Structure 1
Amino acid sequence: MTRLLPLMMVGMAFTGLAMMAQAEAINVPAPDFTLESRSGENLRLEDHRGEVVMLNFWASWCGPCRQEMPLMDDIYSQYKDLGFTILAVNVDENRDEALRFLDAVPVDYPILYDPESRVSELYEVQAMPTTVMIDRNGNARYVHYGYQPGYEDDYEQQIRELVRE
């Protein structure tokens, strides 16, 4: 499988912003995976080919995730009818912790569970949250590490760009 981290590091070197950077130089196939969703069905990334996918890795203990997820829900509502979706991958070992988090921070987009961190390892996730923007052809195009207020503006700009392609 294609590994993303070496290319992400190249992208970060261009921006000079280390772990707070978006890696705009990324344009590699996003590794496929299948995970169980909150609804109980298995969702596969490949099944979303033709859509722009915001792949977001999060955890219940992550303060920035608590800030970011409601903003992502607004983005999802705004762009879902344009061929856009969010796949939010929870990495908690105990699903009950994720469910308690979601009771406090409800969202409408799909939640997937990765309790053994297989998919987060496949994507070499180093920070919570980590967000990968995937284009309609299945290529990882942008990567964001962590969350700070204002990142949602970058997300929307990238989504608009990728939806238009």
Structure 2
Amino acid sequence: MSLSKWIRTAALCSALVVSSLVSASTTVAPTFTLPSRAGDNVSLESLKGKVVMLNFWASWCGPCRTEMPLLEQMHKRYSSLGFTMVGVNVEANTADAERWLKDTPVSFPVLFDRESKVSKLYDVSAMPSTVFIDRKGNVRYLHKGYKPGDEGEYLNQIRALLKE
């Protein structure tokens, strides 16, 4: 293969890789409206223009319980900069979630996905699952599960998205 043909082939491959990265990072977040713990309905569309962290959780999930106070800290620290944390409880019966939240109060909105419709839209397969959505409404990062230390990566992603 000649050098010029090799360079053209390499350039084409590079363009394809860049193209797939751009499309992967600009997946439009599926829209939804869910009832909130406060009694109103909250739509993802109403949060456009903010960096949104959707956290799918359940009261029976140990890692969810561990990370919830950390999520509250992130929400308090960055909400004035255009960030919002949204908890999406996935339990059909919300009574357990309500009881747990009485002992571990949070200031961010908690929504109830009783029929798992939104969980299916976001292909949630692990508890907790966390989705970061940029100001334009695009899914940028997805985390499945939680282990201590993941909050450092969350903070890096929040800061990066807020800078955009």
Q: TM-score range by the shorter chain?
A: 0.7 to 0.9
1:126, distance to aligned residue in structure 2 (A): 0.2
Separation in 1, partners of 2:155, 2:126: 21
Paired residue total: 141
**Superposition CA RMSD, Å:** 0.8
In structure 2, the partner of 1:34 is 33
Structure number having the greater helix percentage: 2
> What is the identity, as a one-letter code, of the residue corresponding to 2:35?
E
1:27, distance to aligned residue in structure 2 (A): 3.0
Structure 2 residue matching 1:74: 3-state secondary structure: helix
Q: What percentage of residue pairs aligned between the two structures are identical? A: 57
Equivalent residues in 2 for 1:118-133, closer than 5 Å? 118-133=117-132
1:26, distance to aligned residue in structure 2 (A): 3.9
Structure 1 residue matching 2:49: 3-state secondary structure: coil
In structure 1, the partner of 2:42 is 43
TM-score of the pair, normalised by structure 1: 0.84
Flag structure 2 segments of 5+ consecutive residues without an equivalent.
Answer: 1-23
Equivalent residues in 2 for 1:69-80, closer than 5 Å? 69-80=68-79
Separation in 1, partners of 2:102, 2:145: 22
In structure 2, the partner of 1:54 is 53
Separation in 2, partners of 1:153, 1:107: 20
Return the index of the structure with the highest Cα Rg.
2
Equivalent residues in 2 for 1:99-110, closer than 5 Å? 99-110=98-109
In structure 1, the partner of 2:116 is 117
Deviations 1:58-98 (A, max 9, x none): 00110000000000000000000000001110011111011
TM-score of the pair, normalised by structure 2: 0.84
Structure 2 residue matching 1:131: 3-state secondary structure: strand
Structure 2 residue matching 1:102: 3-state secondary structure: helix
